[in-house]
Amino acid sequence: MSQYKQEQELDFKRLMPGGVAIGLILLLFLFGGSIFFTVDPGEKAIIYYPLSNGIDKENVLGQGIHFKAPWNDDIIYNVRIQESEEKMEVLSSDGLNIIVEFSFRYQADPQRIGFLHDEIGQEYLARVVKPEIRSACREVVGNYEPEELYSEKKNQIAEEIFETAKGSIEKKNIVLDKVLISDITLPIRLQEAIQKKLNQEQAAQEYDYKLKVATKEAERQIIEAEGKAKANRILSASLTTNVLKDKGIEATMELSKSSNSKVVIVGSGKDGLPLILGGQ
C-alpha cells in the first residue's frame, strides 16, 4: 500500500466521528419532527407501518417520548372517559311522541385502540356509540306507558338503555361507562291529564287512610267501652252487702281520725252503716 493511500485512510478515520455527528445533526434537523413524538397523559398511541404489516395492533404505547422511522405514522387516541349529550324524540308504547334528554359516558378501550382504529377509526363516537345509544333508547322507551315515563323511573330507564347498548358497543372495542337521563318531556295535554289522574289517586289514598284511621279509633273506643263494662260487671258482682258494710266501716274509721270535729253514730246510717255528722 502506497504512503498516499495510507494517509487517506488515516484522514478518513480521523474525520469519521465528526462526520457521524454531523450526519445525526442533519438527520435531526431534516426529520426530527417525524421521528420523535410525544404521548400525553390520558392518551395511547399505535404505529402504522406502511412499508410492512400496517397497524401494529398489539403494541400500544403509553405516555412519554417515542422514536419511529420517518416513513412510519404515529396514531394517538384520547382514552380518557368522555361525555356526550343527546336529545331525541321517541315513541311510547301507545305511539305518543316523547322527548328524551340524556347523556352518556364512554371511552376507547385503552388496550384495543389498534383494533378500534383498524375497524372504525377515530370517529367512533358518531359511527358507533351514538347510533347504538339512540337505538337502545327507542327500544326501551317504547316498552313504557306515558304514565310510567312521567313517574320517577328515570334511573330504571337509563339503566335499561345502558344494558341494551353496552354489549354491541363493547364488541367494537369501546367502553360504555354510564347512561344518565336528565329529562323526559311528554305532550302538554298528556302531562295535564296524567297530573290530574295522579292528584285524584292521591286524594283517594288520603281518603282511604283517613277512613282506616277513623275505623281504628272506633274499634279502640268499642274495645275500651267493652272493657269498662266488663270491669263494672265484675265489680258489681263482687260488691255484696257485707263487703259494702266493711268498706263503709273502714272509711268511717279513717274519717274519724281527722282533726275536724264530727259526730259518729254507729249503725244509724242506711243499711246499718255508721252515720257521720261533722263540720264546724
Contact present, 232 and 246 (Cβ < 8 Å) = no
Q: DSSP state, 271?
A: G
Burial class of 134 by CB neighbour count within 10 A (0 to 12, 13 to 18, 19+): middle
Nearest-CA neighbor of 176 among 120, 266, 103?
A: 103
Q: What is the mean pLDDT of the chain?
A: 78
**Cell representation of residue 229:** 263494662
Q: How far is Cα 275 from Cα 252, in angstroms, rounded to an integer?
A: 8
pLDDT digits (tens, 9 = 90+) for 145-160: 777 776 668 889 999 9
Residue 266, Ramachandran bin (φ over 0: left; ψ between -120 and 50: alpha; else beta): beta
pLDDT score for 244: 59
Higher pLDDT, 262 or 15: 262
pLDDT digits (tens, 9 = 90+) for 169-221: 999 999 999 999 998 887 677 656 556 666 556 666 666 677 787 788 778 88
Q: How far is Cα 181 from Cα 179, in angstroms, rounded to an integer?
A: 7
**pTM for this entry:** 0.59
pLDDT score for 230: 77
Q: What is the secondary structure of 117-140 as a DSSP string?
A: HHHT-TTHIIIIIHHHHHHHHHHH
Residues 235-243, mean pLDDT to the nearest whole number: 64
pLDDT digits (tens, 9 = 90+) for 68-91: 998 999 999 999 999 999 999 888
**Cell representation of residue 251:** 272509711
Residues 243-264, mean pLDDT to the nearest whole number: 64
CATH class label, 83-186 = alpha beta
Q: Which residue has the cell 488515516?
A: 10
Share of the chain above pLDDT 90, in %: 40
Nearest-CA neighbor of 147 among 93, 208, 99?
A: 93
Residue 42 has pLDDT above 90, yes or no: yes
> What 3-state DSSP class applies to 89?
strand
Q: How far is Cα 115 from Cα 130, in angstroms, rounded to an integer?
A: 19
- How far does Cα 251 stand from its chain's mean position? 74
pLDDT digits (tens, 9 = 90+) for 123-147: 999 999 999 999 999 999 888 877 7
Rounded to 5°, the CA angle 171-177-183 comes to 120
84 sits in which H/E element? strand 82-91
Residues 44-66, mean pLDDT to the nearest whole number: 94
pLDDT score for 247: 65
Q: How far is Cα 44 from Cα 48, in angstroms, rounded to an integer?
A: 14
**Cell representation of residue 12:** 478518513
Q: How far is Cα 280 from Cα 270, in angstroms, rounded to an integer?
A: 24
Q: How far is Cα 98 from Cα 147, in angstroms, rounded to an integer?
A: 12
- For the chain, domain boundaries: 3-78, 83-186, 194-218, 241-278
Backbone phi, psi, residue 27, to 5°: -65, -45
Residues 247-268, mean pLDDT to the nearest whole number: 62
